[in-house]
Amino acid sequence: MTDTDRKLANGKTRIDFQTDPSRYRHWKLAVDGDVATLIMDVDEKGGLYEGYELKLNSYDLGVDIELADAIERLRFEHPQVKVVLLRSAKPRVFCAGANIRMLAGATHAHKVNFCKFTNETRNGIEDASESSGLKTICVINGTAAGGGYELALAADHIMLVDDGSSAVSLPELPLLAVLPGTGGLTRVTDKRKVRRDHADYFCTTEEGVKGKRAVEWRLVDELVPGSKFDDTVKQRAREFAATSPRGGGPKGIALTPLKRERSADAVEYSAVSVTLQRPERLATITIRGPENAPPTTAEEMVALGPEFWPLRVARDLDDAILDIRINEFDIAAIVFKSAGDLGQVLAYDAFLDASKNHWLAREITHYWKRVLKRVDLTSRSLVALVEPGSCFAGTLAELVFASDRSYMLIGQRDGDNKPAAMMALSELNFGAYPMSNGLTRLASRFLANPALVEVARAEVGRALDAETAEDTGLVTFARDDIDWEDEVRVFLEERASFSPDGLTGLEANLRFGGPETMESKIFARLTAWQNWIFQRSNAVGEDGALKRYGTGQRPVFDTKRV
């Protein structure tokens, strides 16, 4: 059974998040020195499912999977690139946004997960700018509507052609009775700081805003006459490149295809195993520690490329999480386990920390940051089991801190020669991997007593047994072999019995204590508002706006405010 012909229970083909430029159907990537151009040229017949055409550069999840892949490749394969130009190959249209026929026909779970992934992709564009100095200029040559304008909002600079008709718009409310689900409203007010009254007008008019008003209202940065457009774009690219701090090596590393074998109830990667217990609604992700010691020089790390253990694990884990999110909707809980040498994991963390000024080590650390955020934002219950032979140290310990509940076994099991369960911290636990709220997971954990973060930091590099880990606040419960099996079993059975809707709300509220950031607002609003609106009859009912769009019939709304 191959990945491509694997069928899901609903008869649809499993969505695969792995691709490469040779397989792109919707984007063209060109690199010229320190400037890359990503050209959106969506194949109308290239939708993930039947029943819709991707006209006018409208997009579905498949289009965004390619975009996310392209951004990662620019970070790892082209470290010399300092500026990315986002452009359209279609005349008089940049992007018409998420495909409406796709949204109308998609399941609720698919719609919300689609919005979540597109948000993460746009956050990745912003992270590339903030963390790696990879700046993005969006070049709008026509209409940028809905998700098309939301893509533009992720850029550092938006250029709009002054041709009397090109405009930007967020028409989801008047047209579809939903909201801009890719962070549009939040980026308009928080990132671009558009006045509330201007934003209200902008988001309630179908035709959007164009010309000087778009600049005056801060919706775009620059209005350029058509006769000077291409020359001005080149000039802006040179200016942004001159100020970018990015100065990677002359040669990047190739992100070769993942090593991945799929069977009916398991996926085997090079450093990660996934087992699916569908009747129990459980997925278990086991991470294998490194087989060898870390390299001694940055040059050796570059030579290893995608085989360098921290990058290999991050890529495997990222794919596994996305696969469960979009293809295994009935899974209630993800169980994290690990197996390997604690000291070796710490040695790799020490190498990354010592090499943090090297472009590749920096990109790998930022990639882990994004993968861990994806774990945080996954609407499944998360549990970590720290057992004999585990290697939850440093970076891998972040999965314990990301979990809703964690259990650690005291000592060894009877008849088992594996070493007693231990945990360890590294310097990377104290700043390298902030959550969406801007805090480390340990800082989020110890909001009531920040001094406990420093108590934990004093333990960096030490192997901590179960009782010490519990006393230090690193795990929820330490349990002996007598209680272990029953307590873990009862917890997982209980979790599977709860309402998934209630759990999504519970977990999304509990995971992000502390300060609010633009990023945390985007996902909180997606969970609370878009999730709710996508279930309302005003949007998705038989007489709702999504179903009646394009028919000439007006939608029928339940007019009671709730």
pLDDT attached to residue 11: 56
CATH topology of domain 21-243: 2-enoyl-CoA Hydratase; Chain A, domain 1 (3.90.226)
* Distance of alpha carbon 469 from alpha carbon 471, whole angstroms: 5
Q: What percent of the chain has pLDDT over 70?
A: 98
Paired strand residues for 261: 268
Which helix (H) or strand (E) element contains residue 108? helix 108-132
pLDDT attached to residue 4: 40
Q: 268-271: long-range contacts (C-beta < 8 A, 24 or more apart)? A: 269/316, 269/319, 269/320, 270/312, 270/316, 271/309, 271/312, 271/313, 271/316
- Counting DSSP H helices and E strands in the chain, the numbers are 23, 20
- For domain 261-504, the CATH superfamily is 2-enoyl-CoA Hydratase; Chain A, domain 1 (3.90.226.10)
pLDDT attached to residue 248: 67
pLDDT attached to residue 553: 94
0.85 surpassed by pTM: yes
Residue pLDDT, tens place only, 165-202: 999 999 999 999 999 988 999 999 999 999 999 999 99
Per CATH, 21-243 and 261-504 having the same topology is answered yes
Residue pLDDT, tens place only, 301-333: 999 999 999 999 999 999 999 999 999 999 999
Domain boundaries, the chain: 21-243, 261-504
Residue pLDDT, tens place only, 12-30: 689 999 999 999 999 999 9
Buried b (16+ CB within 10 A) or exposed e, 271-291: bbbbbbeeeebbbbbbbbbbe
